[in-house]
Structure 1
Amino acid sequence: MEYINDITINEGIIHILDNNADEPILNEYLLDMNDDIYKFLLKHVQKILRDEELKYAIFKENRNIVKDLSQEYLNGNDNLLNISKELSNQMFTLMRSNGNILSCDLLIVSISTEYGPMLGIMKMDYIKNYVHNVDYKEGKIGINIITQFTGLPGSGQKIQKAAFIKPMRDDNKFDLMVLDKKKKSKDNEEYGSNYFINNYLGCELIDNERDKTKNFLNAAEKWTRNNLSENADVAENVRSTIKKKLKDEESIDINDISHELFQQQGVKENFTQYLKESGVENNINIDKEWVEKKLKRVRLKIDKDIDLYVNEETYNDNTRFEIKRNGDGTINMVIKHVSNYIEK
């Protein structure tokens, strides 16, 4: 996967899309990129591009307003002010046709990265803020707390829907990166739909190396929980072998690893069949950067009543942490040479 680390924000603009209004409030000026605003935007962009739910996508073949406008800008045929208005009008039209889509500010940014330029679209859903209100009654001061529903997500909060679009070229693996989180709510069904991907962006999601690696590890873990819940010895061997393969190899063949893990033919077939039914391909190119981050720390839930967090180095250091096999399907986990501990 293309992990973007070098980000420069070139320009940005924000428009107000209130589904209680008859039309959007469209900005006529680009944002003033002072230090505070730049840092605010940069933190949101970084957080989105590092989010594990960020997906690759390709635009559909049919004509699409977002595709056409983004390419006009990225190819230098129009400016951000003009295309951002049209992008906002398109979103507002969807909002008016679907009353469940939350009001928002639509933030459009142009960024430069180590992989080239991108156009970012971020749907900044309003959040509830509480502020004080001062009234003067009969010469006395009265202070109340009131709610406001026009606050933007802070730099420490997550945006639910965003897209970062690349210039379309013949050798591209993908056209855009998409974040489309679906938030369940009893009062609002907006996040149960795919309007952002299907109706607004007009794109199709495709799996990347991180998705495939993550899917393989999750499917293998689910199979292990379902089939080896009463055999900690074998379960530990399965987990350790898979993690070692992910660390050491560039790719994994599920038939090969099944043959390495199990002796009984029926178990091998059951394991590989489960992975395939879970959408795992026969051969997976491993996302090494995701594996490095994912396996940095091991969390163990032991017999439903013990939680243990161990970093990878300690887990693999027999002088500090050791797995002892008892020969009856159980194992002992031994923490050694403890010189200090605290309670939390």
Structure 2
Amino acid sequence: MEYINEININEAVIHILDSNGEEPILNEYSLELDEDIYFFLHKHLEKCFKDDELKYGKFNPERNIVKEVSQDYLTGVDNNLVNLSKELARQLFIIMKGNVNIPSGDLIIVSLTTDQGPMVGILKMDYVKNFTHEVQFIDQKIGIGIVPQAAGLPGSGQRIQKAAFIKPIIEEDKYNLMILDKQKGSKEDEFGANYFINTFLGASIVTNERDMTKTFVKAAENWTRENVTNDAGRAEEIRTAIKTKLKEEDSINIDEFSAELFNDHPQAKEEFSTYIKQQGLQEEVAVDKTWVEKKLKRVRLNIDKQIDLYINEETYHDPSKFEIQRNGDGTINLIVKNVINYIEK
């Protein structure tokens, strides 16, 4: 996956999309990007680009307003971000008015320069309930209360649910969007799911290396939990083999890897391979090395549903600090060694 590491905000515009109103409240001016506003937007953009649920997308071939106006901006046909943002806000507001379960919020459109090229960013900032003080004068005395603010924006420490980052369309590119589309609740899942991708963006998700790697790791762990329940030694061998393969190989052939794991157990070999493929994977899994490095930095173990153990990868593989002893009966001993100091949390 192509990771975005450098972000520069050129310009930004905000609009109000309150579905209780008849029309969106459209801004005629760009935001003044002072230090606080720039930091606020930059933090949200960083979180979006680093989010594990960020996916590749590609515009569908059919005519779509979002695709057309964003490409006009990115190619210089119309370089007015305010005009672009107003058109995007109108399109999203029409969809919101047709579905009462889509939450109101502000729409922020940003012009970005990144290490992967120029982009138009779309951030849907669903309102969050904040609280502030209220000062009243009662009988010539000051009374201070707390009142809710229903239209607060998510803080820089919070994650937004829906965002898109649009690149200039180049036919041979495998993707032209990066999309974050999280579902918040059962009502949205049932009635409003995928409105952001399908209806608003007019796009389809494109599977990338990180998606494949995450799916493979999750599927392999689920299979191990379900099928190797009373043999901790064998489960440890499988998990170690998976991690070794992820670190050493750029791609994993599911059938070949299954044969390596279960050479003497044809039924397990077939069941493992079939189960992994049933999760939507093809026979060859491209490995996202950046995600693997991040994922394997720490080993998290839940032992007999009674003990949680968190170990960094270096310590896990250091025999002077941590050791796995096989008892020969399917059980293992996990030994923490040479402890100099410890604290309770």
Give the TM bin, normalised by the shorter chain. over 0.9
Q: Corresponding residue for 1:254?
A: 254
Q: Report 1:304-315 matches (<5 A).
A: 304-315=305-316
1:143 to 2:109 alignment: no
Q: Corresponding residue for 1:19?
A: 19
Point out where structure 2 has 5 or more consecutive residues left out of the alignment: none
Find the aligned partners of 1:330 and 1:189 in 2 and give their Cα distance: 42
Contact 2:120–2:165 at 8 Å: present in 1 too? yes
Q: Corresponding residue for 1:4?
A: 4
Contact 2:99–2:192 at 8 Å: present in 1 too? no
Q: Report 1:56-95 matches (<5 A).
A: 56-78=56-78, 79-95=80-96
Change in Cα spacing, 1:66 to 1:246, as seen in structure 2 (3 Å) is same
Shift of 1:96: 1.1
| Secondary structure of the corresponding residue to residue 343 of structure 2 | coil
Contact 1:183–1:191 at 8 Å: present in 2 too? no
> TM-score, normalization: structure 1?
0.97
Q: Report 1:26-45 matches (<5 A).
A: 26-45=26-45
Shift of 1:76: 0.7
Find the aligned partners of 1:98 and 1:259 in 2 and give their Cα distance: 50
Contact 2:129–2:148 at 8 Å: present in 1 too? yes
Q: Number of residue pairs matched? A: 343
Contact 1:181–1:191 at 8 Å: present in 2 too? no
1:288-308 C-alpha deviation (Å, 9 max, x unpaired): 000000000000000110100
Contact 1:254–1:283 at 8 Å: present in 2 too? yes
Q: Corresponding residue for 1:193?
A: 193
Q: Corresponding residue for 1:164?
A: 165
Shift of 1:171: 2.1
Partner amino acid for 1:84? S
Find the aligned partners of 1:172 and 1:341 in 2 and give their Cα distance: 52
Shift of 1:177: 0.5
Q: Report 1:1-344 matches (<5 A).
A: 1-78=1-78, 79-184=80-185, 193-262=193-262, 263-344=264-345
1:151-177 C-alpha deviation (Å, 9 max, x unpaired): 111100000000000000022110100
Shift of 1:138: 2.1
Point out where structure 1 has 5 or more consecutive residues left out of the alignment: none
Change in Cα spacing, 1:190 to 1:9, as seen in structure 2 (3 Å) is farther
Find the aligned partners of 1:218 and 1:185 in 2 and give their Cα distance: 24
Find the aligned partners of 1:96 and 1:279 in 2 and give their Cα distance: 35
Contact 1:135–1:143 at 8 Å: present in 2 too? yes
Shift of 1:192: 5.1
Shift of 1:248: 1.1
Change in Cα spacing, 1:191 to 1:331, as seen in structure 2 (3 Å) is farther
Contact 1:74–1:118 at 8 Å: present in 2 too? yes
Find the aligned partners of 1:196 and 1:320 in 2 and give their Cα distance: 49
Which ranges of 4 or more aligned residues in structure 1 deviate by more than 2 Å?
188-192
| Secondary structure of the corresponding residue to residue 98 of structure 1 | coil
Q: Output the aligned Cα RMSD.
A: 1.2
Find the aligned partners of 1:41 and 1:294 in 2 and give their Cα distance: 27
Contact 2:102–2:192 at 8 Å: present in 1 too? no
Shift of 1:55: 0.7
Find the aligned partners of 2:284 and 2:186 in 1 and give their Cα distance: 38
Shift of 1:135: 1.1
1:30-78 C-alpha deviation (Å, 9 max, x unpaired): 0111111111111101100110000111111110011111101101111
1:94-142 C-alpha deviation (Å, 9 max, x unpaired): 1111111111110000101111100000000111011111111221111
| Secondary structure of the corresponding residue to residue 27 of structure 1 | coil
Contact 1:184–1:192 at 8 Å: present in 2 too? no
Contact 1:110–1:118 at 8 Å: present in 2 too? yes
Shift of 1:280: 2.2
| Percentage identity across paired residues of the two chains | 59
Partner amino acid for 1:119? V
Shift of 1:185: 5.0
Contact 1:182–1:191 at 8 Å: present in 2 too? no
Find the aligned partners of 1:336 and 1:17 in 2 and give their Cα distance: 58
Partner amino acid for 1:44? H
| Secondary structure of the corresponding residue to residue 179 of structure 2 | strand
